[in-house]
Amino acid sequence: QVQLQQWGAGLLKPSETLSLTCAVYGGSFSYYSWTWIRQSPEKGLEWIGEVNHSGSTNFNPSLKSRATMLVDMSKNQFSLKLTSVTAADTAMYYCARKYRGYLFDHWGQGAQVTVSS
């Protein structure tokens, strides 16, 4: 049974850096790509980016300049950093497993991130 458990700071001030980590339990970590998706009332579901086991990344062009994703194979974990946050980055952030090239079949529980001065 595959489970994703995520954590990170929930309240940030403008210009700070968002940092989230997702741990994967069960299944093969190295076989899949691992993604971050966020959800807000204004933008709906928005794909942020993905990282594979070797550390290769792809990002949504709208966030590429501010986003970094890393993978820690020894812990079956991957992480997201998003710099220079603004109120527009306020959202529920999910980690998820990418499956069959474009699907997201296992999700973390979500982490609410609020950016406010």
Partner 1 sequence: EIVLTQSPATLSLSPGERATLSCRASQSVNNYLAWYQQKPGQAPRLLIYDASNRATGIPARFSGSGSGADFTLTISSLEPEDFAVYYCQHQGNWYTFGQGTKLEIK
**Site for partner 1, rule CB under 8 A:** 35, 44-47, 58, 60-61, 94, 96, 99-105, 107-110
Tokens 């079949």 locate to 105
Nearer to partner 1, 8 or 16 (CB): 8
Exposed, middle or buried, 38 (CB in 10 Å: 0-12/13-18/19+)? buried
| Side chain identity at residue 27, one-letter code | G
For 111, the token pair is 């982490």
Instruction: Quote the CA–CA distance of 1 and 15 in Å, as a whole number.
Output: 38
Rounded least distance, CB 74 to partner 1, Å: 26
Rounded least distance, CB 42 to partner 1, Å: 11
Nearer to partner 1, 13 or 100 (CB): 100
Task: For residue 1, count other CB atoms closer than 10 A to its CB.
Answer: 6
Nearer to partner 1, 45 or 73 (CB): 45
Q: How far apart are the first and last CA of the chain?
A: 40
CB 91, CB 79: distance < 8 Å: no
Nearer to partner 1, 19 or 39 (CB): 39
Rounded least distance, CB 49 to partner 1, Å: 8
Rounded least distance, CB 31 to partner 1, Å: 17
